[in-house]
Amino acid sequence: MRACVPLIVAMLCGLAWAGTTESCASRCNEKFDRDAACQCDRRCPRHGDCCEDYEQLCTAEENPKEPKAFLELEEETEEAPASNLYSAPSSCQGRCYEAVDKHHPCHCDARCQEFGNCCDDFEILCGHEGFSHSSDAITKEELRSISEKIYKADTNKAQKADIVLNSQKRIPRSETRDRVDCCPEPLFTYVNEKLFSKPTYAAFINLLNNYQRATGHGEHFSAQQLAEQDAFLREIMKTAVMKELYGFLHHQNRYSSEQEFVNDLKNMWFGLYSRGNEEGDSSGFEHVFSGEVKKGKVTGFHNWIRFYLQEKEGLVDYYSHIYDGPWDSYPDVLAMQFDWDGYYKEVGSAFIGSSPEFEFALYSLCFIARPGKVCQLSLGGYPLAIQTYTWNKSTYGNGKKYIATAYVVSST
* Catalytic residue IDs: 287, 302, 345
Asked if residue 272 lies in contact with residue 281, where contact means CB atoms within 8 angstroms, the answer is yes
DSSP-based three-state secondary structure for 392: strand
Task: Please tell me the distance from the alpha carbon of residue 54 to that of residue 63, in angstroms, as a whole number.
Answer: 13
Asked if residue 299 lies in contact with residue 292, where contact means CB atoms within 8 angstroms, the answer is yes
Task: Please tell me the distance from the alpha carbon of residue 349 to that of residue 40, in angstroms, as a whole number.
Answer: 25
Residue environment code for 196-233, b if the CB has 16+ CB neighbours within 10 A, otherwise e = eeebbbebbbbbbebbbbebeeebeeeeeeeebbebbb
Tally the C-alpha atoms within 13 A of residue 147's C-alpha that lie toward its C-beta.
27
Q: Is the dihedral of CA 350, 356, 359, 360 positive or negative?
A: positive
Reading across the β-sheet that carries 400-410, which strands appear in turn? 374-379, 382-396, 400-410
Of the candidates 299, 307, 263, the residue with the CA atom closest to the CA atom of residue 282: 299
Which H/E stretch holds residue 141? Answer: helix 140-153
Task: Please tell me the distance from the alpha carbon of residue 401 to that of residue 79, in angstroms, as a whole number.
Answer: 12
